[in-house]
Structure 1
Amino acid sequence: MTDSDVAYRDGTSIASGVERVAQVRLSTEHGEFLAVGYLDRIRGDEQIALVHGDVEGEGTLTRLHSECLTGDAFGSRHCECGDQLGAALRAIVHEGRGVLVYLQGHEGRGIGLLAKLRAMALQAEGLDTVEANLALGLPADARDYRVAADILHDLGVRSVRLMSNNPLKREALVRHGIAITEQVPLLIEPREENLAYLVAKRERFGHDLPHLEAAAKPS
């Protein structure tokens, strides 16, 4: 096996699907990171990982964050993505070591920005997030976490403490050869604007969101 290969849990190896292209120190409001840029050799997408401290080895605090322009950049209250992004980066700095893989191509759970906006319009008419995607003839969730696993392999991460409420994300990482030592909840206080969306994620995708019970009760 060469340096460009990655090992999977069954002992097999495949050529890494990513190429490390650039890295630079990045000072953010949450702390200092090493921004590592990758090229996805299979899809051609550009990807980035924000690394804090020595992440090689076991039990690395990790967040796989799906691209969300409306939430991450514009502060949309329709979802909790922007809040989760900030909370994850703060947690990594507090921990002293960790990595956030920001996954381009995951907009709208993989359906793309324009389709996501169309789905949001349908949600405003009363459909839930899954019904809206399906009404457009699109999958409820089209995301693929293969590139995230390849990036973690390249960084020398062997197992992770995964910051996520999504059981499908955990299953995908394990399937791609990354062991999970712990799933760390990343719970954001719901708002009136996103409560129905979060309830749909719990009911439709099995997200572990126990804090919604209190938020749903009338005061």
Structure 2
Amino acid sequence: MSNHPTPAPLLDYVTSCALPTPWAQFTLHAFVEHATGKEHLVMALGDIGNGEPVLARVHSECLTGDVLFSQRCDCGAQLEGALKRIAAEGRGALLYLRQEGRGIGLINKMRAYRLQEAGVDTVEANLQLGFHADARNYELCLPMLEQFGIRQVKLMTNNPRKIDALTRLGIEVTERVPLLVNRNAFNNSYLDTKQAKLGHMMGTPVAAVAEDGQL
């Protein structure tokens, strides 16, 4: 018999409901995080617990992009694109984590926007505000995926940190599915910075961008 106490759960599964969307009728599952009281969600479609790799997206909340249609980022377009791909496949899961602004919160994200308007890039703005370049934590993904018996995913992401995080948690990423959407005049520098400073796999060379001082 082990003398080590069982670790406290990070969150609780609460309830579920049907969620019709323009692309498919998903099942929306709700979780509550113990440490913060934040509500996190999983949008599921089809039989995701049959042991086969699941087309999945780990999406961090972005009120400005997801809800207010901001063109400063690609978040809203990635959310829509991921749901469309899951609907087309007929099976998949989208984890919606309440980690606004790469984990710094909505108000601080707006402060970072002001700094960006003064000429700094997204990474430097976070650092000037006293935060990490990316303060998100993906530990919640494990109990959320375990709730449905998911151990293997085909992950829709451009971010290698998400792949590494899930792998460290014991989730096998069998495939990376690129999600390159909505590059525009307002977010070119933002996307180039994600590639140059955070290692995102954007498929666009940015060597000349740093020389122009646009990061």
TM-score, reference length from structure 1? 0.88
CA distance 1:29–1:196, change in 2 (3 Å): same
User: Structure 1 unaligned runs (5+)?
Assistant: 1-12
Aligned length: 201
1:77 alignment partner in structure 2: 71
Q: Does 1:63 align with 2:93?
A: no
Paired-residue identity, %: 45
User: What's the RMSD between the two structures over aligned residues?
Assistant: 1.5
User: Structure 2 unaligned runs (5+)?
Assistant: 1-5, 210-215
Q: Is the 8 A contact 2:54 2:91 kept in 1?
A: yes
| Alpha-carbon separation, structure 2, partners of 1:131 and 1:162 | 28
Output the amino acid matched with 2:31: Y
| Alpha-carbon separation, structure 2, partners of 1:144 and 1:190 | 26
| Alpha-carbon separation, structure 2, partners of 1:74 and 1:51 | 24
Q: Provide, for residues 145-167 of structure 1, a one-character-per-residue CA deviation record: whole Å limited to 9, x for no partner.
A: 01122101111111100000000
For residue 16 of structure 1, report the CA deviation from its aligned partner: 4.1
2:82 alignment partner in structure 1: 88
| Alpha-carbon separation, structure 1, partners of 2:104 and 2:117 | 18
1:159 alignment partner in structure 2: 152
CA distance 1:212–1:94, change in 2 (3 Å): farther
| Alpha-carbon separation, structure 1, partners of 2:8 and 2:149 | 15
For residue 125 of structure 1, report the CA deviation from its aligned partner: 1.1
143, 146, 158: which one aligns with 1:150:
143
| Alpha-carbon separation, structure 1, partners of 2:8 and 2:168 | 16
| Alpha-carbon separation, structure 1, partners of 2:199 and 2:67 | 27
2:181 alignment partner in structure 1: 188
2:102 alignment partner in structure 1: 109
Q: Provide, for residues 26-51 of structure 1, a one-character-per-residue CA deviation record: whole Å limited to 9, x for no partner.
A: 10112110000111234322111000
Q: Is the 8 A contact 2:77 2:182 kept in 1?
A: no
Output the amino acid matched with 1:125: A
**Which 4+ runs in 1 deviate beyond 2 A?**
13-18, 41-44
| Alpha-carbon separation, structure 2, partners of 1:38 and 1:109 | 20
For residue 177 of structure 1, report the CA deviation from its aligned partner: 1.7
Q: Is the 8 A contact 2:18 2:26 kept in 1?
A: yes
